[in-house]
């Protein structure tokens, strides 16, 4: 099967039809969610502390939903108007912006506590126009991303490299931009379940002794093709056990976000987030 990035440029491949099909496909929803939760694990954020995160190539907001579910505030960037349109229709909670990340991402220095990107950066290895030089676009992207990250922040990119040259090109440009870190491979011995995560740390280029250690990849004894991800959290989620995060703090955060966005939101009261008794 040919890779999507060989078919057409992303803004054309992800047209209205594809954006809708992509978003309602339950298999895609599950895979994107599992990859996102694994990326969040690799981000290693403190539990129950909301952070300000960047989602690179946010698409229709499937990965972003997982960030919101864990209480984070996020900004999503994507090149496809159609994908962003579906994200808006779905009332995705992130702030969404059109962006070709190969031209750079422009935010104030140190804005974000972390960044995730699911199934996106392989697109930057392609030259869709005569003016596109993949190495240069990757370097521009990583340099501007580095600036946007708070010192100590992590960026985790799950991606589908076509070959080892692409992996090397991506890692080299990220290191040139000032990041430390490298590649984490989950299920390295399975052709089906093998997954690549580029884990980057900002702020340790001149302090390598204090740079975090690269996390270990997952290795599963049972057939990993049947169990995509295996953390306790994954098991719980797969069994439908969701963390009970819809408490008073969660409701107040959601209301605050609504107010910032100019939505009509009910006032807080002593009843906010209180468990209600049974209705008769
Ligand atoms: C497989 S989708 C993943 C979407 C999202 N991460 C999710 O979880 O559903 C890949 C996304 O990368 C975006 N993309 C590809 N190249 C891009 C670029 N140069 N700049 C911004 N977004 C890009 C596409 O438009 C598409 O929405």
Whether residue 9 lies inside any domain: the answer is yes
Distance from chain centroid for Cα 257? 20
Torsion of CA 246, 249, 253, 255, to 10 degrees: 80
Total domains present in the chain: 1
CB 126 less than 6 A from any atom of ligand 1: no
Q: Radius of gyration (Cα) for the chain, nearest Å?
A: 19
Q: Note the pLDDT of residue 157.
A: 98
Q: Which domain holds residue 124?
A: 4-227
CB 79 less than 6 A from any atom of ligand 1: yes
CB 61 less than 6 A from any atom of ligand 1: no
Whether residue 45 lies inside any domain: the answer is yes
CB 122 less than 6 A from any atom of ligand 1: no
CA-nearest residue, atom 25 of ligand 1? 80
Whether residue 257 lies inside any domain: the answer is no
Whether residue 126 lies inside any domain: the answer is yes
Mean pLDDT by 10-residue block, N- to C-terminus, for the chain (280 residues)? 91 98 95 95 91 98 95 97 97 97 98 98 94 97 98 97 97 98 94 94 92 91 51 52 58 70 76 66
Whether residue 236 lies inside any domain: the answer is no
CB 179 less than 6 A from any atom of ligand 1: no
Model pLDDT for residues 201-223, shown as the tens digit of each residue: 999 989 988 999 999 999 865 55
Pocket test for ligand 1, best of 28, 79, 101 (most atoms within 8 A of CB): 79
Q: In terms of Cα–Cα distance, which of 132, 146, 53, 65 is closest to 100? A: 132
Query: 270 is written with which tokens?
Result: 């002593």
Distance of alpha carbon 9 from alpha carbon 32, whole angstroms: 21
CB 70 less than 6 A from any atom of ligand 1: no
Q: What's the pTM?
A: 0.84
Q: Note the pLDDT of residue 238.
A: 47
Q: Note the pLDDT of residue 188.
A: 93
Q: Note the pLDDT of residue 192.
A: 84
Whether residue 280 lies inside any domain: the answer is no
Q: CB–CB of 87/19 below 8 Å?
A: no
Residue 203: other Cβ atoms inside 10 A: 18
Distance of alpha carbon 111 from alpha carbon 251, whole angstroms: 25
Pocket test for ligand 1, best of 6, 10, 99 (most atoms within 8 A of CB): 10
Beta-carbon contacts of residue 194 (< 8 Å; ≥ 6 apart): 185, 186, 187, 188
Q: What is the CATH number of the domain that holds 43?
A: 3.40.50.150
Q: CB–CB of 109/46 below 8 Å?
A: no
Question: Cα dist. 277→53, 61, 274, 280 in Å?
Answer: 37, 34, 9, 9
Pocket test for ligand 1, best of 34, 53, 59 (most atoms within 8 A of CB): 59
Distance of alpha carbon 168 from alpha carbon 142, whole angstroms: 14
Whether residue 232 lies inside any domain: the answer is no
Whether residue 197 lies inside any domain: the answer is yes
Model pLDDT for residues 157-195, shown as the tens digit of each residue: 999 999 999 999 999 999 999 999 999 999 998 888 899
Distance of alpha carbon 41 from alpha carbon 44, whole angstroms: 5
CB 23 less than 6 A from any atom of ligand 1: no
Q: Note the pLDDT of residue 261.
A: 63
């Amino acid at each position: 099967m040919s890779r999507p990035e060989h078919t057409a440029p992303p803004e054309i491949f992800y047209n209205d039809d594809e954006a809708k099909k992509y978003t309602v496909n339950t298999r895609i929803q599950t895979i994107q969610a599992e990859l996102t939760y694994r990326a969040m694990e690799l981000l290693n954020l403190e539990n129950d502390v909301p952070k300000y995160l960047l989602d690179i190539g946010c698409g229709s907001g499937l990965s972003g939903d997982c960030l919101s579910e864990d209480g984070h505030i996020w900004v999503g960037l994507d090149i496809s108007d159609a994908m962003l349109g579906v994200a808006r229709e779905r009332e995705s909670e992130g702030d969404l912006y059109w962006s070709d990340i190969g031209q750079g991402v422009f935010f104030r220095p140190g804005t974000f506590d972390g960044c995730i990107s699911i199934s996106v950066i392989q697109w930057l290895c392609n030259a869709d126009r005569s003016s596109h030089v993949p190495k240069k676009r990757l370097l521009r992207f990583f340099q501007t991303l580095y600036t946007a990250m708070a010192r100590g922040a992590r960026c985790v990119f799950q991606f589908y490299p076509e070959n080892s040259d692409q992996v090397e090109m991506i890692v080299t440009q990220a290191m040139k931009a000032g990041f430390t870190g490298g590649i984490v491979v989950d299920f390295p011995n399975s052709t089906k379940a093998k997954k690549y995560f580029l884990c980057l740390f900002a702020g340790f280029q001149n302090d390598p002794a204090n740079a975090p250690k690269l996390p270990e990849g997952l290795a599963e004894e049972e057939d990993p093709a049947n169990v995509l991800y295996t953390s306790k959290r994954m098991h719980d989620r797969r069994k439908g056990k969701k963390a009970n995060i819809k408490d008073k703090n969660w409701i107040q955060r959601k209301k605050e976000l609504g107010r910032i966005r100019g939505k009509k939101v009910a006032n807080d009261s002593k009843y906010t987030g209180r468990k209600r008794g049974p209705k008769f």
